Amino acid sequence: MNYQEAYAKLEKSGQTHVLKYFEELSEAEKQDLLSQIELTDFTVLEACKHKEENNRGEFAPLKCMELDEIKAGAAAFEAKGLEAIRAGKVGAVLLAGGMGTRLGSDDPKGMYNIGLTKEVYIFQRIIENLLDVVNKADAWIHLFVMTSDKNHDKTTKFLKEHAYFGYKEEYVHFFKQSMAPAADYNGNVYMESKHTISSSPNGNGGWYISMVDSGMTDVVKANGIEWLNCFAVDNVLQRIADPVFVGACIDRDAAVGAKVVRKNAPDEKVGVMCLEDGKPSIVEYYELTQEMMDAKDEKGNPAYNFGVILNYLLRVTDLDKIVSQKLPLHVVEKKIPYMDETGVFHKPEEPNGYKFESLILDMIHMMPSCLPFEVERNYEFAPIKNKTGIDSVESARALCKENGIEL
């Protein structure tokens, strides 16, 4: 793309300030900036204008497979799950493209060391958990790791240097997600430097299309993988490719299974599994009306009682059916490092603008059926979002200790 073409593209979305310092740049920097302009989708900025729109449908409860039912069927589910794993039909997808801004480390979140007396990295905890299943099934499971432009090199280098924490290298596959521009509250793209557009990973919703674009789905197809267990990097107790969960989803012929935890309180800040216009969906805690919080199921328990923990098992044939559908774009307030009009760089302490993300929960709503599958919170859910307080390094360490994990 040349200067004129870049200018014309930027003009369409009112972003010509991106070229403000063009004449000052070196030849290499000029080329770099032009290529960023070519690759950036500025149309996402339109979403700032529709930020407040709420197009949600009609919510209804969705029955969950609860612990007692799982316990009763566990042996049969596990046998079915192990059979699928041994046949190579299950793959795992680690979503590790996020910026982990709340944790405040410059490194990828998975590189965070939660150990106290020795090194225990988040990536290590996750891989150790997956290795439990590999050892039980006596079969390797393909692990796909999604990174972004911002953390790819550090992630791949770190895992290689640590010999994948005992995982077999041929079974680890990396792919990058796409980026989206970041903007101020008026929808003007921020610049990180005179030749760098401020951009961030475009959310965890684009993982499957990124797998397709990067050729990862060829690996999926070539290996006969029929189910993908997609999970977040930050839960250090995350059970991955859990044979009981896999078996239950196959048994119930669900297009997607979602691991869920019983809520601590009716107004707890978690997204809750439900139906929306008859299709699986996740209602955000702030969307729950009093009436929904008071609603009861046939056992007299709260009808909207199970929160998602970002651990989904998705059937590949169903993913292929929805891959061309556009996911809604979420406008999220974040802290965005930027260069001001005088050329000075800032790293803000408070949110100062918007990032644009698509979310995996919107993908769940595109699926024809879903099995919410209850797990015991204290055994399987120790998310690290913050340094201290709720969902933090501190709370996750306490939960690791409770589960006998040495730190």
Query: Can you give the binding site for ligand UTP, defined by CB under 6 A?
Result: 95-102, 109, 146, 177, 201-204, 232-234, 310, 357, 385
From the CB of 232, what's the least distance to ligand UTP, in Å?
Answer: 3
Give the distance from CA 321 to its chain's centroid.
Answer: 20
Cβ-based nearer residue to ligand UTP, 45 or 336:
336
Determine the residue with CB nearest ligand UTP. Answer: 98
**What tokens does 375 get?**
């797990």
Least CB distance to ligand UTP at residue 146 (A): 5
- Among residues 99 and 130, whose Cβ is nearest to ligand UTP? 99
Q: In Å, how far are 109, 200, 352 from 13, measured between CA atoms? A: 33, 19, 20
Give the nearest distance from C-beta 391 to ligand UTP in angstroms: 9
Q: Among residues 97 and 257, whose Cβ is nearest to ligand UTP?
A: 97
* Least Cβ distance, residue 133 to ligand UTP (angstroms): 19
CB of 154 to ligand UTP, least distance (A): 13
At its nearest, how many Å lie between ligand UTP and the CB of residue 392? 11
Of 13 and 202, which has the nearer Cβ to ligand UTP? 202
Between 202 and 305, name the residue whose CB sits nearer to ligand UTP.
202
* Residue 96 half-sphere exposure toward CB, CA atoms < 13 A: 30
Q: Which residues fall within 8 angstroms of residue 81, CB to CB, at 6 or more apart?
A: 90, 242, 243, 244, 245, 246, 247, 248, 250
Quote the tokens at residue 122: 């988040």
CA distances from 66 to 33, 73, 148, 259, 279 (A): 53, 11, 36, 11, 20
Look up residue 64 and give its DSSP letter: -
Residue 206 or 257: which CB sits closer to ligand UTP?
206
- Nearest 5°: phi and psi at 258? -125, 120
- Distance CA(364)–CA(271), nearest Å, equals 12
382-to-101, 109, 251, 255, 265 alpha-carbon distances in Å: 18, 14, 28, 26, 17
Instruction: Output 21 or 165, the one with its CB closest to ligand UTP.
Output: 165
Smallest separation (angstroms) from ligand UTP to the CB of 383:
8
Residue 318 CA to residue 108 CA, distance in Å, equals 31
